[in-house]
Structure 1
């Protein structure tokens, strides 16, 4: 039975068991996920799974409940519907129920790469082998993964939709004497992942990170590489461009206000890559401009937050959205790249930036008088959601830059910073020209950004406290 037939069967079961007044939406997803993991420069795990999952949400007698299951037999589907109906009877009334998505066409999904969808373990292993070989005598660890999802939607209003997506990703580190270098990529085709290039990049960063010095806390000019910018995008999405948090006045977003530097444009673009063409409520997904040349234009909505705001869903419903709110999970950071501060075309001297970064990032580094080059951010936690003040740590390489030259490695630093302030008017000095797509821990979520040069970043503690 196809995914769309299974989804229709679930909706019909709700009608039969819950009565003609029951409203239901069902999503059936067939997922083929494969992972090749390596550590100590050798593959130690190769796993794959193929699953079919069913997610049901229903509204009956003024109450809403959701359930999920992976048993797609007749008995399994019936059990799912029965327990979700039982749950609905125990739930409080839901006066904010926005109703079901009407039967309207959804956009066409981009074509999927069949070679990636059906990739064999040895194809992932080839990229791991190339990564390890390129790192030479350094110890390496990481993964290469591929995923293929086909998903169907049906609801009791007669709306149906179908789509499929694929993804390939690689994330690896190289280590020497406690110094790590990292390289990550996400792509629509496994063929576009170059293990040798990533391994060489990670190894060069690890070698350049030896013998770090400790710097005092304070505000420093910074160049953030794409991996670090990905953390900015993730937190901006979850806490800022989230329609539920916006309605609760827990978001910094003020549509129509120039909250960011003019060089900043942020677009959620799920169909700019191989993404599903509809969300958890069956609403079609399209590109949504969140920030346009510095001005906040929109927040993401599902049907519930859109109804509260007197707007339309932007296609950002997720499972569990009643709790977490709608999420934009495919952000692309773009903007005008070259300005006087970017020093495009200049090269560095002394400790060559080419040993640490690519030429695109090196051009940004060349424009700094004194600051820090930051590879990655991690363990970030929100202290104040309204102003989006975040604390976290650097990792996988930090370097001091003086007069456009990378002079030496720096020990990791703790920071406390408002992300919107750091990207605010006049704060973005330059952008790299080449965006790089970064994978998330969850397939189907990615963050695309160039390197970014910022006027100020608040480091509040060194490695010793």
Structure 2
């Protein structure tokens, strides 16, 4: 049976067992995930899973309960309905119940690529082989994955929708003399991933990262590569544009206020790629501008958080929204325009993307630190500062001001007079992300965005490289 057939069966059981006073919504999702892992430059694991999950939420006599199951036989579905019904009868009263999504049209799912949906181990292995070969003998590790999701939603208000999506991603690392270099990509089609290009990029960064020097803590101008910018977007999503945190007064966001630099425009766009056309409550998803030229335009909501602030759901209910709150999970930082200002009043002159940039006067192997011409253009206009590949182990110190502490990894380099001169040992930082992106703080954005895969399929962050006036490094390798 299709996902929509299963959803219809659940709703029939709810009507029969709960009676006319019950309100219910059900999502049936089918996920087919496949992963090829490699380490020591050889594939060591190939796994795949296919699972169907049924999630049911019921509101009865002013009380709400939810549950899920993976058994889709008639007996299994009946057991799920009976279990949720029993839980609803004993649950505390829920005066904030926002009601059900009424029948509403949704946009079509993103373009479906059958070749990716049907990809097998050999298809992923070919990309791994290309990555390993391009690394030129360096030790490599990483993964290549494909993900297929199909879902259907139905509720007792008569609303039914369905959709499907597919995604491919690759993330790899190369190591040279204790230095690591990484490269990753996320795409709508497996055919759009270039294992050889990713392998060359990771290897070039590893070779350029050997024999690093240690720099003292302090504030440095930085160029953040897209992988590092992705951490900014992820934390802004979880803590800044989260409608539950906003309703509780725990978000920095003030809609209508120019809190960020005019160069910053953030759009959450699930249907750009790998997103379903509706959320867990059946609300249609769409592109939503959260920041427009530095001015906060919106935060995201599910039905419950929207009701708290007197607004409407933006289609961001997910499995964790009742606990963690609704978050934008497909956030894109718009790149610099082809002409005009690219941030901070400076004129952007970034060249075309593609290939490792040759920075004038810079000897190999440090040229490999700069992954592409777009990033090279930003580096060339930085008198002195740091080029940062990646941020990790980031933790929130103050949710309201979004002060984050974390570490650099996979390559940091000193830039002097627009040229990369030395590899630098990893640094700890403590920085307010809104401050780092505040008015006057964003000097320049790249013109090309790169989509970064997340540990969960269907979640991604897309951004260009970013040149910032200041980043607060609070500790070096020695402490």
Q: TM-score range by the shorter chain?
A: over 0.9
**Residue pair 1:348, 1:406 contacting (<8 A) in 2 also:** no
| Structure 2 residue 469 is the aligned partner of structure 1 residue 463 | no
Give matches, 1:59-78, under 5 Å.
59-78=59-78
* In structure 2, C-alpha distance between the alignment counterparts of 1:187 and 1:78, rounded to whole Å: 39
Shift of the alpha carbon at 1:453?
Answer: 0.3
State the distance in 1 between where 2:209 and 2:350 align: 25
Matched, 1:448 2:454: no
Return the alpha-carbon distance in structure 2 between the equivalents of residues 199 and 347 of structure 1: 21
Deviation (angstroms), 1:192? 0.2
Q: The residue matched to 2:323 in structure 1 has which SS? A: helix
* Native 8 Å contact 2:40 2:140 kept in 1: yes
Partner of 2:57: 57
Q: Does 1:191 align with 2:191?
A: yes
C-alpha separation between the residues in 2 aligned to 1:328 and 1:379? 21
Q: Deviations over 1:190-227 (max 9, x none)?
A: 00000000000000000000011111100000000000
**Conserved 8 A contact 2:220-2:472:** yes
Question: Where does residue 89 of structure 1 map in the other structure?
Answer: 89
Residues 251, 385 of structure 1: 8 Å contact kept: yes
- Number of the residue aligned with 1:391: 405
Shift of 1:186: 0.2
Gaps of 5+ in 1: none
Please identify, of 261-270 and 333-342, the stretch whose mean Cα deviation from structure 2 is larger. Answer: 333-342
Once the two structures are TM-superposed, the CA of residue 53 in structure 1 deviates from its matched residue by 0.8
Residue 169 of structure 2: aligned partner: 169
Q: Is the 8 A contact 2:335 2:446 kept in 1?
A: no
Aligned to 2:430: 416
| Greater mean deviation of Cα atoms: 82-91 or 178-187 | 82-91
- Equivalent in the alignment of 1:355: 368
Confirm or deny: 8 A CA contact 1:301 1:326 kept in the other structure. Answer: yes
Report the 3-state secondary structure (helix = DSSP H, G, I; strand = E; otherwise coil) of the residue aligned with 1:186.
strand
Partner of 2:42: 42
Equivalent residue, structure 2, for 1:297: 297
Number of residue-to-residue matches in the alignment: 465
Moved more, 11-20 or 61-70: 11-20
Q: Output the CA distance in 2 between the equivalents of 1:25 and 1:106.
A: 17
Report the CA distance between 1:354 and its aligned residue: 4.1
Determine the C-alpha separation between the residues in 2 that align with 1:363 and 1:342.
Answer: 9
Q: TM-score, normalised by structure 2?
A: 0.95
Contact 1:343/1:366 (CA < 8 Å) preserved in 2?
no
Structure 2 unmatched runs, 5+: 352-357
Please report the RMSD computed on the Cα atoms of aligned residues, expressed in angstroms. 1.2
2:16 is the counterpart of 1:8: no
Kindly state the Cα deviation for residue 274 of structure 1 after the two structures are TM-superposed.
3.4
- CA shift, 1:335, in A, is 4.2
How far does residue 341 in structure 1 lie from its aligned partner after superposition? 6.3
TM-score by length of 1: 0.98
- Structure 1 residue 336: Cα displacement: 2.9
Q: Return the alpha-carbon distance in structure 2 between the equivalents of residues 151 and 3 of structure 1.
A: 6
